A and B are shown apart, each in its own frame.
Chain A
Amino acid sequence: MSATKANVKKDAKAKPAKKEPDKAMATVYIMGKAYRVPADATIMGAIEYAGYQIKRGAGCREGFCGACATVYRLPGDYKIYTGMACMTLVQDGMYLSQIPAIPAQRPVYDLSELKANVQTFQKLYPEIFRCVACNTCTKACPQELEVMDYIQAAKRGDVEKVMDLSFDCLSCGLCAIRCPAEIVHYNVGILGRRLFGRYLRKNSDHLDKRIAEVKDKKFDREYKEMMKMSKDELKKKYYARDNE
């Protein structure tokens, strides 16, 4: 749910084009307690509507940061579901609880001393070899990533695959909290991405060239000229520039 009623509250006398029907409501159980909330609310919106001031459990509010991990059950269904509170809509009868933090350690390492191979994963995250391929992590992922597959890739030292499959990971930790082998998947993903970026990327020669040019002060004169120009001269130059 967004903060304001309309995006143009002050700047336009926008009248709703269609009269809003009386808001449909739903009952949700926030940490076991029933609240009536708008039926089309996100879980985060519902928690705030119920009167909570969130401190833990909200960060970006747009599905990037992973602060709002939530587990829930639905009526008449034994399954545990997972979702991000900022992105998941409530359902009538939902039993939900946010997870304020995921306990997880991560080893300290010096990237410049690592190699992009299986031994690195072995050394830093030996527990990945306890993976029993149950796929619970994948089922728990609110981003629908192939989590187990990237853990398996790490076990083979396939760094590129770890990078590729974990790319959209939010580090929400729902995989880690569900894993019977007690793996902290998202940290393995970050390691894989950093190893790829540093060691397995293709080099961009033009980038190195440009950096050398800057170091050699190649643009110094041009900068100085432009920094001396008046606003009008700059304007003229700007509107006359060509577009790629």
Chain B
Amino acid sequence: MYPEFMHDSLKKVEATRARRIELERSGKNVFPPMSAEEREDVLKKFHPDYKADSRRTIRVGPNKGEVLTTEVADMLESHTRIGAAMFDLSSPDYETDLLIVGGGGAGCAAAIVGREHGTKSIISTKLRLGDANSMMSQGGMQAAVTAKDSPTIHYLDALGGGHFDNKADLVRALTEDGPEVVKWLEDLGVVWDKNPDGSMYVLHGGGTSRKRMHSCRDYTGAIIMRTLMDEVRNHPDDIQILEFMPTIELFLDEKGRCAGGVLYNLETEEYFTVKAKAVIIATGGYGRLHIRGFDTTNHYGATGDGLVMAYRAGANLLYMDSVQYHPTGASFPEQIAGFLITEKIRGAGGQPLNKSGELFVWPREPRDVESAAFIRECLERQNGIQTPSGRWGVWLDSPVIEVIQGAGYINKNFPAMYRQFIRYNIDITKEPMLVYPSLHYQNGGVEINDRCETNVKGLYVAGEASGGVHGRNRLMGNSVLDYNVFGRRAGRYAAEYARTAVLGKLSLDHLTAYEEELQKAGIVTDRIAPVLLPSYTPEEVKKRQFTAHYEGTLR
């Protein structure tokens, strides 16, 4: 239920609804899309990335001297949890072909395809298998499969969304593999939304010029992730799953080839060593670093661990100066602040409105532009609504969807969304939602090529942890596609490499060297990374934990 003081504004939303529905039905744009100049202007002035203190120069490692997101630079300029001397590197606790770090979408896809190419693997994952951002995507996956569309139009859309900074070979792989991925998933048993004649049911997303968003109601991620997990579990002889066992550092051998990693049992607090012919990092994103204090849509384990491990091992990062804020995070009620409200709501006709119930931006601008426009509407134009806890928000009118698409559409297509709000007595078929940008996606990551190789031999990266595919801004639906396309590619190419790879002695010398570099750069800090989990323990509690010892965020 919305508080009294919002009722006036809600009435205005209702008052303008009939007119806005007419507009939508006219087939014209409900609001003029921005030109290139307008986009640049609103981004420069209002996107959080452009604030003075949002970026700083990194002083160590392969990207030394580059300007990165401040919180990322902080994480990279931190100490390891371990010392090389702690381990007997001559007899590893586990040996395998592929060590897959992260049991989300990319990790599971890699394990399945790696196995098809003859390798055994270990999946090291932080929480349970599938406790991952991949489980949460609601909106869908892009792939150019209709007659009006083509992989090359998809290519151009992705480039434009990424401000033309995307690596061309990666975007080609992404868009050209897309149709095949739809089929691969379908054959694994993913239930796609279809039209009565069997053709794929596709919608628009922000920045798409063709309808190519594939979905499974609004449980797209859950359906795909559970299918992939279920398939992984069908091969217990070839794929070993180690849950609550995050990887915290990588091994190199004396020739600098990646050779496995050190795992940490979150429950017993033991460390284990894994020797592997190749490593695939599939650790996903970093929303739980709460960049600039923003709420996040991400799962509990999204702390950017893969970045720091790979970086210490010498891997280049790309575009780690750009953060994706999803325009429509929930702003009210407080209990679900930051939760994602799928872009598909706008794809189906949902409209963002200011406190007067008026449109102020085209609903389907690329995410960064749309987010910046929301922030401008609230902070500069003072046309937003403030919640009792001090959050800003603009309305996202969902009841229009019931009129445009037909009654019952929301319950059929957005059951998760409906559930989330009805618990708080907000019926989104009748009332709008209050939204504000939420920290959503790591646009950049470890630089890869179209075989998922990094500059460190034997180290592969796939999914949100990688950088280059999306340039500096990802479009909706391209990351579900990303983790499938590149998860599969990583599985295949790492398997091919592992078949002939011969490893030397395991070493952690790169950690010692990194610590020395920190010291030389004069960096004095008690920060420890990988971060593993965020801490939400109140300060009041921490003050009383007289004998507790914290390593980073964890006791």
Using a CB–CB cutoff of 8 Å, the interface residues on chain A facing chain B are: 1-12, 14-18, 20, 40-42, 45, 48-56, 58-65, 67, 87-89, 106, 108-111, 143, 163, 167-168, 170-171, 190, 193-198, 201-208, 210-211, 214, 219, 222-223, 226-227, 231, 234-235, 237-239, 241-244
Contact = CB atoms under 8 A, between A and B. Distances in A.
Question: Which of B157, B180, B536 has its CB near the most chain A CB atoms (within 10 A)?
Answer: B536
B142 interface: no
Given A8-B436, A61-B299, A65-B299, A193 B334 contact: no
Nearest to A186: B226
Contacts, number: 296
B69 interface: no
B390 A226 contact: no
Contacts of B379: 8, 11-12
B267 interface: yes
- Nearest 10 A-B pairs (CB), nearest first? A194-B189, A202-B198, A9-B293, A59-B131, A17-B386, A51-B541, A197-B189, A238-B160, A16-B390, A2-B337
Contact of A89 (B191, B236, B335): B335
A3 B388 contact: no
Interface in B242-297: 244, 266-267, 288, 290, 292-297
B194 A226 contact: no
Given A56-B244, A223-B155, A40 B186 contact: no
B197 A6 contact: no
Nearest to B387: A17
A5 B392 CA distance: 12
Interface residues of B, number: 119
Given A67-B128, A167-B217, A5 B209 contact: no
B155 A226 contact: yes
A1 B334 contact: yes
A207 B145 contact: yes
Interface stretch (B309-317, B398-406, B412-420, B472-480): B412-420
Given A87-B423, A201-B191, 12 more contacts: A1-B536, A51-B537, A62-B299, A143-B419, A167-B217, A168-B219, A194-B188, A197-B186, A208-B183, A219-B150, A226-B156, A239-B160
Contacts of A20: 388-389
19 contacts: A2-B338, A12-B378, A17-B390, A51-B538, A58-B127, A64-B219, A67-B128, A108-B234, A109-B234, A110-B234, A167-B191, A190-B230, A206-B199, A219-B152, A223-B151, A226-B152, A226-B155, A234-B164, A241-B153
Contact of A206 (B147, B209, B231, B297): B147
A67 B335 CA distance: 18
A196 B191 contact: yes
B534 interface: yes
B292 A244 contact: no
B258 to A, nearest CB: 28
A16 B388 contact: yes
Nearest to A200: B191
B209 A243 contact: yes
Nearest to A2: B337
Interface in B305-353: 329, 331, 333-340
Contacts of A59: 127-128, 130-132, 135, 299-301
B536 A3 contact: yes
A6 B169 CA distance: 40
B36 A239 contact: yes
B182 interface: yes
Contact of A55 (B267, B415, B423): B267
A170 B337 CA distance: 21
Contacts of A18: 3, 5, 388
A235 B294 CA distance: 32
B338 A194 contact: no
Contact of A190 (B226, B301, B340, B538): B226
A84 B539 CA distance: 26
A217 to B, nearest CB: 10
Contact of A219 (B151, B180, B183): B151
A14 B197 contact: no
A219 B171 CA distance: 13
Nearest to B227: A194
Nearest to B550: A53
B221 interface: yes
A62 to B, nearest CB: 5
Contacts of B148: 244
B172 A14 contact: no
Given A16-B388, A109-B234, A203-B198, A64 B223 contact: no
Nearest to B146: A206
A190 B234 CA distance: 13
B292 A1 contact: no
B487 interface: no
B388 A227 contact: no
B340 A244 contact: no
A196 B164 contact: no
Contacts of B292: 9-11
Contacts of B236: 108
B56 interface: no
Contacts of A241: 153, 156-157, 209
Contact of B145 (A48, A61, A210): A210
B197 A60 contact: no
B159 interface: yes
A219 B132 CA distance: 34
B176 A10 contact: no
B159 A17 contact: no
A14 B179 contact: no
A64 B222 contact: yes
A8 B378 CA distance: 11
A4 B180 contact: no
A195 B48 CA distance: 45
A77 B374 CA distance: 46
Contacts of A9: 292-294
B217 A53 contact: no
Contacts of B127: 56, 58-59, 67
Given A163-B191, A167-B217, A8 B172 contact: no
B426 interface: no
B197 A244 contact: no
A204 B191 contact: no
